[in-house]
A and B are shown apart, each in its own frame.
Chain A
């Protein structure tokens, strides 16, 4: 009997898959060849290990089983508490969706600047807002200051929820021939400009890098370029 044949016989007996004749054959073999007892014990040890490890291996490779919905919030809270909440990808994905709905959903705080139509009728009305869904955080005040500095005559509106911002975004000033809405979304790190005029609304998004003031100047430049003012 060669090694492989002995292995097969031993494994069948250990795994309770052997016939009576095979069990008897193994007993006789071990009785006549004591040196094979060690080999048999090794196979038995390996089999014991396999029975312990294989279920874990199957678990690692498994793709069945549905994640319970009730666990989701608990686990996402754990993620936020443990790893912080830097601009989630979901916010950016959600933003695309909002654009598709006519810029209906925003993120953080809004600043609105309205230039008096009576004194300067040819100037576009500029409304500015900031959306900050994270609530009051460090740096918010300086962001507001930057917005106020860029549009000195504007009221700065702030929103902490997307819904009211959406309403504000779609509510254009009555009687205005040309108007612009500037929305600074802190969570997404974006400044969005929407221009309303005789034609279709025009929109552009500016990513905020290290310097918010520089981005706001770019937004102003875009408005001037589009309105000729």
Chain B
């Protein structure tokens, strides 16, 4: 798909915002779906109040069109999808309850609206091991796996499911000052990928019409401890 506008949902997140940039660099038109004013995480309520920055303002500065909308409010999706040929969903959630609402129902709403709008290309950012038996206890993973099946079963949509390995950004999230807090022994191998490289793959999926389900992993296998040693070395910590 080398022409046509792409709607990016989850456009203010790490992967979504990087995907906006890579899609624009690839020469595609991009519309970013954002929920409202910046900084408070509040739901869509129309245009931001005077003086409040729009969440997607940095994306507009890159050259993306920014539209207000919320995947949990299907009535806002039809206008957002008007004229779009494809969708990239990088929605994310942080709790079990939110996962069912956003990862599953939100993405189903988005897919349904895309089909009605005639957007037949859908690229979805899922997660490695989303369908692992132990992942059923993790709402985010379980609901991602559920939506994967819905998407890949949609016969009238050209679908891509991306399953990124561990984001390198996770290393920074677990840092508390000079110490890293990593629950559990974590002695098994982990593959790492930067959010930017995952986003680059999403843009390539559109550019090269890559469909199906794909794992995304960078060049290194390292346990959490080994990864922190590499991070420390890169920062001059020896």
A binds B: no
